[in-house]
Structure 1
Amino acid sequence: MQHFWVVGTDTDVGKTCVTTLLMRQLQSQGIRVTPYKPVQTGEVFENGQAYYYDSTMYETYSLQPLERASLNDYSFKEPASPHFAAQLEGQQIDTKRILQQINRLQQVVDVLICEGAGGIFVPLDANGEITLLDVIMESQLPVVVVTRTKLGTINHTMLTLEVLQSRGIEVLGIVFNGDTGSAMDRNNIETILQYHPKPYAIIPQYKEFSKVMDHSITNTSLFGRLYQHDTKII
């Protein structure tokens, strides 16, 4: 079975939306899937309750029961880069612990989807010696890249793909998130695919998370890359 990372070209490109959507639509095929976000930051206060957006979205939209303790290892209150958010709370992120959890979860589910934080070069330690990219390389798992469609995405996406390629990390496909249908958005997508012809999916711009969850990508080349009808992941 194919386990993989969902990584972004930047922060707030929709990694959690895509992770949740892929989880949900793979689950709908009868596959045991769990998401795992090693580090989440930014505690949310709403209606007198505190929660973390990423793991809450997983639990809310999963079609299967999820083990809450397995959804992430580090949660920090400050909405900041993981290394700084950890530093503010006097903690350090143990990447060995993250890799051990990744290895463990691969043994108990059909598909493990690991969600990154920020872009691939986001630091995980105060000294800047370890980045998310280092953990991805250590995990030996391929990635799905999430990017925007608006102005600036060509540069951000090409840089991300070039780095992944230079490090020998397999890219399973690209998700273009937030497509407005404009001529510029469409040209941005076409230009990126011209240089990097990968399986892909396009998600339109939605104002509500629930609307994204109603959007089907099962007929896209990306989903075809991830799923076969005999329930084997390729």
Structure 2
Amino acid sequence: MQHFWVVGTDTDVGKTFVTTLLMRNLQKQGIHVTPYKPVQTGEVHDGEQSYYYDTTMYEKYSLQLLDRENLNGYSFKEAASPHFAAQLEGQQINTQRLLGQMQQLQQKWDVVICEGAGGLFVPLDSYGETTLLDVIVQSKLPVVVVTRTTLGTINHTLLTLEALSKRKIEVLGIVFNGDTGSGMEQDNIKTILRHHPLPFATLPKLKHISHIMDLAITDTSLFERLLKHETSIN
């Protein structure tokens, strides 16, 4: 069965949005899909209600019933790096626990999409000895890289791809998120693909998150790669 990570070149590049979008589009193919967020931070307060954006997005836009208790490993209230958010609550992130949860989910679902936190080198412990990238390596799963289209994306994306390549992590493709169609953005995309001719999808900048329901990526080379990879493994 096919399982993979959605990782970002930085924080706030749209990992949760892309994870949710890929989940929906795969579900439309009749595939049993669940997202999984190992560590989420930043509790949102809306009046008397409190929630976490990532897992709430999954549940709100999923086309299948999800198991709420198994959507993530750790949730910390402070909107900060996982290691610091955990430290504020007197906790430590057990990476073996996360890997165990991923393994269990892979036994139950056709596709598990694991969403990263921040960039690849975000620390998961106070000493900086364990990073998200270390967990990805141990999971032995391929990745989809999410990046911006705006100024700075070339450097961030190439560094991310280099780090993955050095660790022999398979990259299924790239998602260029938030495109407005400017000449600079188109050149950024072409430049990155010239260095790394990978399957990709370019997503427009949406006026409202609810427009995710109307967004299809089934005709992109990235989605074709995901389906081929899933079929070849099954």
| TM-score of Structure 1 vs Structure 2, range by shorter chain | over 0.9
| Unpaired runs of at least 5, structure 1 | none
Q: Which amino acid aligns with 1:232?
A: T
Q: Which amino acid aligns with 1:57?
A: M
Q: Which amino acid aligns with 1:60?
A: K
Question: Cα 1:168–1:211, aligned 2, differ >3 Å: closer, same or farther?
Answer: same
Q: Do the aligned partners of 1:37 and 1:116 also contact (CA within 8 Å) in 2? A: yes
User: RMSD in angstroms over aligned alpha carbons?
Assistant: 1.2
1:233 Cα offset (Å): 5.8
1:48 Cα offset (Å): 1.6
Q: Which amino acid aligns with 1:55?
A: T
SS at match of 2:21: helix
Percent of pairs with identical residues: 72
Which residue in 1 is equivalent to 2:231? 232
Correspondence list, 1:214-233, <5 A: 214-228=214-228, 232=231
The reply on whether 1:111 has 2:91 as its aligned counterpart is no
SS at match of 1:118: coil
Q: Select the structure that is richer in helix.
A: 2
Question: Cα 1:67–1:233, aligned 2, differ >3 Å: closer, same or farther?
Answer: farther
Which residue in 1 is equivalent to 2:92? 92
Question: Cα 1:213–1:13, aligned 2, differ >3 Å: closer, same or farther?
Answer: farther
Q: Which amino acid aligns with 2:149?
A: T
Which residue in 1 is equivalent to 2:198? 198
Separation of aligned partners in 2, 1:73 and 1:145: 21
Q: Which amino acid aligns with 2:111?
A: V
Separation of aligned partners in 1, 2:69 and 2:147: 29
1:148 Cα offset (Å): 0.1
Separation of aligned partners in 2, 1:206 and 1:212: 8
TM value normalised by structure 2: 0.97
Separation of aligned partners in 2, 1:19 and 1:233: 22
Which residue in 1 is equivalent to 2:11? 11
1:212 Cα offset (Å): 2.9
| Unpaired runs of at least 5, structure 2 | none
> Which deviates more from structure 2 when the two are superposed, residues 213-222 or residues 182-191?
213-222
The number of residues matched between the two structures is 233
Q: Which amino acid aligns with 2:224?
A: G
1:131 Cα offset (Å): 0.0
1:210 Cα offset (Å): 1.2
